[in-house]
Amino acid sequence: MNRKVNAKQTMPYIVLFVVVALVLFAFTFGNTKYNTLTYNELLGELSKGNVTEITTTEHSGNGIYYITGKLEGYKKNEYFKTNAPLSETVQETLQTQQTNHEFKWTVGTNPENSTFMVILINFVPIIIIVGATIFLFARLSGSNKNSMDFGRSRAKLSEDGGRVRFKDVAGLEEEKQEVAELIDFLKNPKKFQKLGARIPKGVLLVGPPGTGKTLLAKAVAGEANVPFYFISGSDFVELFVGVGASRVRDMFKQAKHNAPCLIFIDEIDAVGRQRGTGLGGGHDEREQTLNQLLTEMDGFGANEGIIIIAATNRPDVLDPALLRPGRFDRQVTVSLPDQKERHAILQVHAKDKTFAPSVNLENISRRTPGFSGADLENLLNEAALLAVRRNKNAIGMTEIDEATDRVLMGPAKTSRKITEKEKRLVSVHEAGHAVVGLKLEDANDVHKITIIPRGMAGGYTMMLPKEDKMMVTTRNELEAQITGLLGGRVAEETFLGEITTGASDDFKKATKIARAMVTEYGMSDLGTVQLEERSEGVFLGRDYNKSKNFSDAVALEIDKEVRKIIDECYKKTTKILKENKKLVMLISDTLMERETITKEEIEELVSTGKLASKDESEVLKELKDQAKEIGIKGYTKMSREELEDAIKNANSEE
């Protein structure tokens, strides 16, 4: 690949070469020793035959000969030097002595007659000095230029908006319609002005992480035939106060020259947080930047033809002045996708992947409620990585299932040694969760139970909603969630006579739901009063100075109501499990044997009370199929025990 040579990059090497050359020159010639002789002394040495070599250089300007040479007994770097009158007598004398004593005689070139030496001595030093001066001034001017650019906008201009189009964004039909209106206005403003419509100056994209806010903005850039500036909120904030405000001014100044145009600010909460918040005061640089942004969007100056699109997943921390009409007039909520949208997203990310015939993307979309677009892309990527590790030519359902577990809980820890007692505890615990989910009408569907450790969990029960729900949850459904969470602890206590630490996370989730029912949703005897407001702890100062919405007496009543909900659900859980003891132990025994049970196998256990037994040949065939998928060599000659060990070792290495 050809690369252009940068003078600034090569200059240090040139300087280094010159320095090394000078050092070598000084080392080579700096150690040479010259002994000064008079002309008469030289004649005496010549007559004695002590001269071994001699060099004469004629210098007509001074009327002398420069004579150098070596005598007998001189060292390698030792020479003599002398001067003689420029006359024929000297030449005749030297010729006579050379005939008598046969020494080496060299006639040097007169430096005055060498054009190269004249240029080297007279002009090269001047060129070096002038070049060094120009280089230094260029560096200084470059530094000043960078310092002057410190307040320049970091927004990047895209003329074509990139390659993303609306067709590349699966789902989000209503959201695309909202932002497409902006593009339509920029292309044909008269259609809107005819009816007196004013297009929004700013559109705020709000939603959880990974739902496609930035992707939607890229699609707007791709569809628009106008200049598109994009920048992150953190690019405005700097160490020095006033720099961010300067960058905002410069960004809008550039945008005015290219109007009509779009500006996209990603993660606007980095600069748009509420002013005056935070323990110990505000943040002057960020607040000045926000003030300048507010002024540019809807101040005394007019910025016609400039539309701002911003994205954030924390709209609750934004300054109210930023959200008022005239600034961000419109908020577009980008929610988690439903089943239909998940199917469309999976189809987009599956374009460049090879799947086995058994893979059904629609079934996968039904099994992944609550997954964002980024989660689904990660799911298929993890499945592809697993298929590559196993040397498979296509992605199968085995890889999809494993990838789903990896995304939710982390990789399986098959190499961890588990005692039989611990295995029984985990199996009973998970069976308790599953049976409550199976027997409660308002509970989620049980899709999978496993006692293989993943992440921090010794096992888990995958329970998914019966259908996608976007808006509300009933009280019965919340109580069913609490009851299901308590199933593990109740099963341990009821059937094993002891309790473990495995239910700590279940208690945390159950208590959070119960407290929200009391303080936020008005689902208790305290009435329909919101006593607490959901807070994410954005600013320490905000939470530290937050006043209570209730007295200490009411706080005691809140604790009593929370405990009352938990206790009632605990009693309900105990009743369900005692009535279905056989099913709990049946699921536990099956988990001890197979470690993982799928939804179909769970339904078979519930309906028939057992799983269809597999003969040895069928089990051996399944093991060989797994070994073939994983890529185990020599699997055809292995016994059942050898195959099980090889498969377990291969999974642990992954």
Residues 6+ apart with CB under 8 A from 494: 574, 577, 578, 581
DSSP 548: P
User: Would you state the pLDDT for residue 72?
Assistant: 83
- Work out the average pLDDT over 142-169: 59
User: Would you state the pLDDT for residue 464?
Assistant: 77
Give the rounded percent of residues in the chain with a pLDDT score beyond 70.
76
Distance of alpha carbon 10 from the chain centroid: 33
Helix (H, G, I), strand (E, B) or coil at 318: strand
**By mean pLDDT, which of 50-59, 111-120, 183-192, 583-592 is the weakest?**
111-120
pLDDT at 424 over 50: yes
* Residue 461 or residue 138, greater confidence: 461
Q: pLDDT band for position 617 (50/70/90)?
A: low
| Positions marked active-site | 430
* Residues paired with residue 80 on neighbouring β-strands, in sequence order: 35, 69
54-63, 433-442, 453-462 — which one is most confidently predicted on average? 433-442
- Distance (Å, whole) CA 315 – CA 202: 14
User: Would you state the pLDDT for residue 539?
Assistant: 45
Cis? peptide before 260, omega within 30° of 0:
yes
Dihedral sign for Cα atoms in the order 372, 235, 317, 278: positive
pLDDT at 541 over 60: no
Neighbours of 54 (CB within 10 A): 23
26-40, 152-166, 422-436 — which one is most confidently predicted on average? 422-436
Question: Which residue, 220, 181, 200, is CA-closest to 327?
Answer: 200
Contact (Cβ atoms closer than 8 angstroms) between residue 155 and residue 230: yes
* Residue 546 or residue 163, greater confidence: 163
- The b-or-e profile of 573-599 (16+ CB within 10 A means b, else e) is bbebbeebeebbebbbebbeeebbbee
53: which 2 tokens?
């070599």
Contact (Cβ atoms closer than 8 angstroms) between residue 313 and residue 266: no
Question: Which residue, 7, 3, 84, is CA-closest to 42?
Answer: 84
Cα dihedral 567, 572, 578, 582 in deg (nearest 10):
-130
- Work out the average pLDDT over 476-497: 90
pTM of the shown model: 0.64
- Work out the average pLDDT over 408-420: 72
- Distance (Å, whole) CA 501 – CA 489: 9
User: Would you state the pLDDT for residue 307?
Assistant: 82
Residue linked to tokens 């906008």: 153
pLDDT at 552 over 60: yes
Cα dihedral 259, 156, 175, 370 in deg (nearest 10):
-170
User: Would you state the pLDDT for residue 574?
Assistant: 92
633: which 2 tokens?
């060599």
pLDDT tens digits, 468-482: 666 678 888 899 999
Question: Which residue, 205, 470, 473, is CA-closest to 342?
Answer: 470
360: which 2 tokens?
């059904």
pLDDT tens digits, 8-40: 556 666 766 676 666 665 555 556 777 888 878
**By mean pLDDT, which of 392-401, 429-438, 534-543 is the weakest?**
534-543
User: Would you state the pLDDT for residue 248?
Assistant: 80
Average pLDDT, the chain: 77
User: Would you state the pLDDT for residue 569?
Assistant: 93
pLDDT tens digits, 259-295: 777 888 888 888 888 876 554 445 567 777 888 888 8
**By mean pLDDT, which of 493-497, 509-513, 629-633 is the weakest?**
629-633
User: Would you state the pLDDT for residue 131?
Assistant: 74
Contact (Cβ atoms closer than 8 angstroms) between residue 491 and residue 423: no
User: Would you state the pLDDT for residue 238?
Assistant: 63
Contact (Cβ atoms closer than 8 angstroms) between residue 416 and residue 375: no
- Work out the average pLDDT over 531-542: 54
User: Would you state the pLDDT for residue 2?
Assistant: 45
pLDDT at 115 over 70: no
User: Would you state the pLDDT for residue 152?
Assistant: 59
* Residue 420 or residue 25, greater confidence: 420
- Work out the average pLDDT over 40-58: 81
- Work out the average pLDDT over 108-125: 61
Residues 6+ apart with CB under 8 A from 369: 339, 464, 465, 468
127-136, 331-340, 410-419 — which one is most confidently predicted on average? 331-340
pLDDT tens digits, 307-325: 888 888 888 888 888 888 8
Give the chain's length. Answer: 654
User: Would you state the pLDDT for residue 222?
Assistant: 75
50-59, 116-125, 429-438, 529-538 — which one is most confidently predicted on average? 429-438
Q: Which amino acid is at 634?
A: G
pLDDT tens digits, 498-522: 888 888 888 999 999 999 899 888 8
